[in-house]
Structure 1
Amino acid sequence: MDRQMVGSASKGRLRVEVRHHGASAVVTPAGELDHHTAEALREPLEACVEEGHARLVVDCSRLEFCDSTGLNVLLGARLKAEAEGGAVHLVAMRPVVARVFEITGAEAVFTVHDSLDAALVE
């Protein structure tokens, strides 16, 4: 498997790692995604699409919290990825994070996977 670590960023309570796996960019945010930390996720997501990795796999297994600002970052990334023929896949959301998507109905516009391996098979 081609799993190349590309980079990482950190802003306060959120750390974001990016690696490539074939045609996919695997983006792993860890910590709290909110108004104060959203840029730490927005920037690498946008960079992945600009670099030609429009299939974004966001591994949410280490994401402890997500508010509406975080949700908007993911929705914005989805629009950019889809404009380039890609998509955003969400993986292993914890219940507290999944709840934001359920309440807003946003779960209907993302493909959600239970595991990273499942997301990378497609």
Structure 2
Amino acid sequence: MRPEPRQESAPLTRHLRVREDRGHTVLEFHGEIDIAVADELAPRLDRVTDRRGARIVIDLRNIEFFDCSGLRLLYRARTRVLDHGGTLHLVCTQPLTLRVLRVTGLARLLPPRPTLEAVLEQPETAPGSW
């Protein structure tokens, strides 16, 4: 039997919702992720990625715009999670965002998955993996 996902009652900001699901912390980004929003989200991301052995999923399916500030957030989150022995997965289906991830090479470091289920149902990976 699968445990019920635990969800927060309200988003942390209009651009970020954090919830727990099957042992993972899921960060759902919403709307436009630009420099102003990235500055707002960075401290929240730092708190979530500062835990030893954290299992993090960043879900970009609900974004409308994503610039280099968003890329910096992803790279910083990846670095922090790996430094703390955790895992980080990315969910993305937005064609323009996928293209930016590929062109910048971030897709090689953080391969995007097509669905949240594809991440949450995969077997546990070794600490330090993506």
Question: Does TM-score exceed 0.5, indicating one fold?
Answer: yes
Contact persistence 2:50–2:81 (CA under 8 A): no
Give the root-mean-square deviation of aligned CA atoms: 1.8
Structure 1 distance, partners of 2:40, 2:53, is 18
Q: Secondary structure at the match of 1:28?
A: strand
Contact persistence 2:52–2:86 (CA under 8 A): no
Partner of 1:9: 12
Contact persistence 1:34–1:66 (CA under 8 A): yes
Structure 2 distance, partners of 1:5, 1:93, is 23
Structure 1 distance, partners of 2:93, 2:44, is 19
Structure 2 distance, partners of 1:111, 1:102, is 9
Partner of 1:44: 44
Q: Tell me the amino acid that sits aligned with residue 78 of structure 1.
A: R
TM-score by length of 2: 0.81
Structure 1 distance, partners of 2:71, 2:87, is 15
Q: Secondary structure at the match of 1:93?
A: coil
User: Per the alignment, do residues 53 and 41 of structure 1 end up closer, same or farther by CA in structure 2, a change over 3 Å counting?
Assistant: farther
Q: Deviations over 1:15-38 (max 9, x none)?
A: 100001233110001001111110
Structure 2 distance, partners of 1:2, 1:99, is 34
Q: Which runs of 5+ in 1 are unaligned?
A: none
Contact persistence 1:23–1:53 (CA under 8 A): no
Q: Which runs of 5+ in 2 are unaligned?
A: 123-130
Q: Give the number of aligned pairs.
A: 119
Partner of 1:92: 92
Q: Secondary structure at the match of 2:57?
A: strand
More strand by share: 1
Partner of 1:119: 119
Q: Tell me the amino acid that sits aligned with residue 50 of structure 1.
A: D
Larger radius of gyration: 2
Q: Tell me the amino acid that sits aligned with residue 4 of structure 1.
A: R
Contact persistence 1:16–1:29 (CA under 8 A): yes
